Amino acid sequence: MIADFTRREALGLAKGVALGAMFAQLPHANAAGERITCFIGQSGFPRSGAMCLGMLATARPEAQLHAIAELRLQTKHRRTLQAGSTDKYAAAFCKAFVDHMLADKEMRFFASLVRIGKPPATPAERDAVMLACHVKTLEEAEARGVAEIYLLQRDEMHTGALTAAIRKNAMPSARVGHRKLKDNDLIQLAGFIAAAIRTEGGKVRRDFRAFLKQRLGVRELNQASLARHPNFRIREIVV
């Protein structure tokens, strides 16, 4: 099912009207008592009419970052991974990461593929759309629990407001912060995978999309195809 938000509901979320209720039952540890950390990357912007948020959730962030550093060495990818990266080393790095994630089974990926009917006309509407998208993405992690959340830092004031809104209205017991893209590999990878879900792009992205489908065992990268996958989910949202 595709989740629909009216513009009023999205603005209501920004004001905290419904946000607290959405997270009222959200635990902060999984069944094994492990506290979960979420890293959220982004592809696209509200004004473009379509965007995708990608989130990697793990109970062992330091161990995963160490494993990713090893993958960088193996694939010779030393640059900051952008959502639109097109070099062969970036593609090899991301494919190696997907293989690692699916084999390791500890980490999970969630995406919110957002279709925006009417691009936001004001900063308040833009912020409301961004908040609604983050809410639905984090909601997918409820079975694992959330203790820490790190967002992609793009615009200092906007990211700070979004961080404060999530912390105040939804996750008072969780640590909510933001990181610059260059400083966090998990946010980089979440954003690159989100970009592959959002659009085919050029040759490198088309090849990576085909790789993802093959590894996930699906014909399409959408909510219905991945509804039962244990480590990789997509939610389609209309705002």
Residue 42 CB neighbours (<10 A)? 24
Residue with tokens 């509200």: 46
Whether this model's pTM surpasses 0.85: no
Burial class (CB in 10 A: 0-12, 13-18, 19+), 66: exposed
Instruction: Answer for the pair 55, 135: CB distance below 8 angstroms, yes or no.
Output: no
Where is 56: in which H helix or E strand? strand 50-58
DSSP state of 221: -
The torsion angles phi and psi of 158, rounded to 5 degrees, stand at -65, -45
Sheet of 37-45, strand order: 3-4, 232-238, 108-115, 50-58, 37-45, 148-152, 175-179
The pLDDT value given to residue 5: 42
Domains, the chain, in order of start with CATH, read: 3-238 (3.30.420)
- Cα–Cα distance for residue pair 130/42, rounded to 1 Å: 10
Report which DSSP code applies to 60: -
pLDDT score recorded for residue 184: 93
Element (H, E) at 93: helix 88-104
50-58 and 108-115 strand pairing:
antiparallel
pLDDT at position 141, please?
58
Task: Report the chain (239 residues): mean pLDDT per 10 consecutive residues.
Answer: 45 42 41 78 82 92 96 94 87 96 93 84 80 74 68 67 70 74 92 90 87 96 93 87
Beta bridge pairs of residue 218: none
pLDDT of the residue at 54: 92
pLDDT at 146: 76
CA 150 → CA 155, 187, 205, 215, 229, distances in Å? Answer: 15, 8, 25, 27, 24
Supply the pLDDT for residue 33: 64
What is the Cα–Cα distance from 40 to 54, expressed in whole angstroms? 6
- Give the CA-trace dihedral at 182, 184, 151, 172, to 10 degrees: -140
